[in-house]
A = this chain, B = another copy of it.
Amino acid sequence: MAEQLKSIEEFMKSRGFKLTRPRRRVVEKLLAVKGHVTADDLIDLLRKGGTPVSRATVYRTLGIVSQSGLIDGHDFQGGKKVYEPMVGRAHHDHLFCISCGKVIEFSEEAIERLQDLVVARYRFTPVYHSHKIFGYCETCTPKPALKARRS
């Protein structure tokens, strides 16, 4: 955990940013939460935790740290970005349940390698990618015996 913070601090230094107290609060809170959080979640958590940080700073900090690859931002529902720490974690992609909102992580080395082939084919230099599969999770999948869910 302190290790993770250190990585982020180093990244920021290398880019000429300072890890100020408000920024540290944002990053620490993000690292402390497991799973996905929105910017507003963080703002709330910080305020409730007695260490409020302004919206602007939260957004700015997330923006800066996102560039490092140490945290990832995803857009699942459209219009609300969720963040998750990636420090020390392997890359993964997501299944998103369009009924209950559940997020399942998956990683498939073979897909990653095929992506390498694809980008090579187009002489494209990849920076990051987003691979999301939307559908119904096991519990939300309409059972054959039941009426199909009305969309």
Contacts and interface: CB of A to CB of B under 8 A. Distances in A.
A49 to B, nearest CB: 28
A151 interface: yes
Interface residues of A, number: 37
Nearest to A136: B125
A89 interface: no
Interface stretch (A4-12, A23-31, A32-40, A126-134): A126-134
A138 B151 contact: no
A137 interface: yes
A3 interface: no
Nearest to A122: B104
Closest 8 CB pairs of A and B: A126-B135, A123-B138, A127-B135, A129-B133, A125-B136, A125-B141, A131-B131, A125-B135
Interface of A: 67, 75, 78, 81, 95, 97-98, 104, 106, 108, 110-111, 114-115, 117-119, 121-138, 141, 151
29 contacts: A78-B81, A95-B118, A95-B119, A95-B122, A104-B124, A106-B118, A108-B114, A108-B118, A110-B114, A111-B111, A111-B114, A114-B114, A118-B133, A122-B138, A123-B137, A123-B141, A124-B136, A124-B141, A125-B135, A126-B135, A127-B134, A127-B136, A128-B134, A129-B133, A129-B134, A130-B131, A130-B132, A131-B131, A131-B132
Given A95-B119, A108-B117, A124-B136, 17 more contacts: A98-B127, A110-B114, A111-B111, A111-B118, A114-B114, A115-B133, A119-B133, A119-B135, A122-B138, A123-B137, A123-B138, A124-B133, A124-B137, A125-B136, A128-B133, A129-B134, A130-B134
